[in-house]
């Protein structure tokens, strides 16, 4: 019997969010709508130029773990922080969400990762991330009991940036498959896909990864095509199950010869798209590990994503289990 429904593995990052206009994005040479990796000096510069900001524990897979826990499922998390102020904030926050988090913190440098996230009036988020302690996540941080004891091990594509994390992911995947469980990944970002296209395809085609989450831009980047249909046809052949999100157009779920379109939920106001894909994955994986059919899994994903984009920050403020019950999905 599995001890957890989903084990999430990712970069443990404290998000620092602030609103700005498009002129600020241009003036500071920020790639809009992307995750930009930066060094410590650039992090200090951007932080000094930020307007009023809020701090929240983030990181893509960490957001997914928090969402899964909000649905009432059993979630665990691997991610590296330092034993500094931000590291203690991160540890407290994710545990308070109901996520099992026991990765040993670093005793010294580098410091806990942080991401300056600038949200423009259109709700788009531009992330500027200093990875800090994240780069130290490695095979020694893989807890075998958690990796083997989760129905799904889920990791973020961003982990392919710090080198030792690749070894950790492959080890966790081996534990999962040896126990008869599954491995999922999110492609994370079109620029991330550009950096690691061949490696991501190898993970899928080798069977290291069973389930893939991608948005439309990431899918097109993966297969170097401008055609959504061509991308869907290709990913259908390369992995057993894929969920492709399309913002307000909903999502498309592919499994073998089956295609399941899912509508997005109606929202009152678009506030911040930070973490929308992370919460979609949370809803989907909650449904999937509970044995729901793919249409319901997709609707749970749409529900979580739709709620998240109507607030600042990616962590759920509502109890997602209650929201799912009210929506008639449970």
DSSP for 151-196? EEEEEEGGGGSSHHHHHHHHHHHHHHHHTT-EEEEE---HHHHHHH
Statement: residue 4 has pLDDT above 90: yes
Give pLDDT, residue 310: 87
Give pLDDT, residue 272: 76
Confidence class of residue 149 from pLDDT cuts 50, 70 and 90?
very high
CA 7 to chain centre: 12
Statement: residue 1 has pLDDT above 60: no
325: Cβ contacts below 8 Å, ≥ 6 apart: none
Contact by Cβ (8 Å): 212, 187: yes
Query: How confident is the model over 109-129, as a mean pLDDT?
Result: 90
Give pLDDT, residue 55: 82
Confidence class of residue 2 from pLDDT cuts 50, 70 and 90?
low
Tens-digit pLDDT profile for residues 39-95: 989 998 998 999 999 888 888 999 999 999 999 999 999 999 999 988 998 999 999
d(CA 197, CA 267): 34
Give pLDDT, residue 74: 97
| Percent residues over pLDDT 90 in the chain | 74
pTM, two decimals, is 0.89
Compute the mean pLDDT over every residue in the chain, rounded to the nearest whole number: 93
Statement: residue 181 has pLDDT above 80: yes
For the chain, how far is it from start to end, CA to CA, in angstroms?
Answer: 22
Statement: residue 173 has pLDDT above 90: yes
208: Cβ contacts below 8 Å, ≥ 6 apart: 170, 173, 183, 202
Nearest to 79 by CA among 162, 187, 199: 162
Domain ranges of the chain: 4-326
Q: Which CATH number fits domain 4-326: 3.40.50.150, 3.40.1190.20, 3.60.15.10, 3.40.50.1970?
A: 3.40.1190.20
182: Cβ contacts below 8 Å, ≥ 6 apart: 151, 152, 153, 176, 210, 211
Nearest to 277 by CA among 59, 130, 95, 69: 59
Give the 3-state secondary structure of residue 127: strand
117: Cβ contacts below 8 Å, ≥ 6 apart: 15, 16, 17, 18, 125, 126, 127, 128, 274
């Amino acid at each position: 019997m599995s001890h957890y429904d989903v084990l999430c593995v990712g970069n443990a990052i404290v998000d620092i969010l602030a609103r700005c206009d498009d002129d600020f994005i241009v003036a500071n040479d920020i790639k809009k709508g992307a995750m930009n990796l930066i060094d410590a000096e650039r992090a200090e510069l951007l932080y000094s130029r930020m307007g009023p900001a809020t701090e929240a524990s983030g990181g893509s897979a960490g957001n997914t773990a928090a969402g899964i826990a909000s649905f009432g499922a059993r979630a665990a998390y691997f991610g590296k922080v330092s034993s500094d102020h931000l590291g203690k904030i991160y540890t407290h926050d994710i545990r308070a969400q109901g996520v099992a988090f026991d990765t040993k913190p670093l005793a010294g440098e580098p410091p806990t990762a942080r991401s300056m996230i600038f949200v423009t009036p259109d709700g788009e988020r531009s992330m500027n991330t200093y990875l800090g302690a994240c780069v130290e996540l490695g095979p020694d941080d893989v807890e075998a009991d958690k990796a083997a004891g989760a129905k799904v091990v889920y990791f973020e594509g961003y982990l392919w940036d710090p080198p030792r994390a690749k070894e950790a992911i492959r080890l966790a995947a081996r534990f999962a498959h040896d126990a008869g469980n599954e491995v999922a990944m999110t492609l994370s970002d079109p620029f991330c896909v550009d950096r690691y296209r061949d490696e991501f395809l190898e993970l899928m085609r080798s069977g290291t990864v069973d389930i893939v989450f991608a948005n439309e831009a990431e899918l097109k980047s993966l297969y170097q095509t401008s055609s959504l249909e061509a991308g869907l046809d290709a990913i259908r052949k390369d992995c057993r199950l894929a969920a492709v999100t399309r913002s307000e157009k909903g999502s498309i779920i592919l499994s073998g010869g089956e295609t399941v379109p899912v509508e997005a939920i109606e929202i009152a106001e678009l506030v911040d798209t930070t973490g929308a894909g992370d919460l979609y994955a949370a809803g989907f994986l909650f449904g999937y590990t509970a044995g729901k059919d793919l249409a319901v899994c997709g609707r749970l994903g749409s529900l979580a994503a739709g709620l998240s984009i109507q607030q600042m920050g990616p962590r759920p403020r509502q109890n997602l289990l209650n929201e799912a019950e009210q929506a008639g999905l449970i």
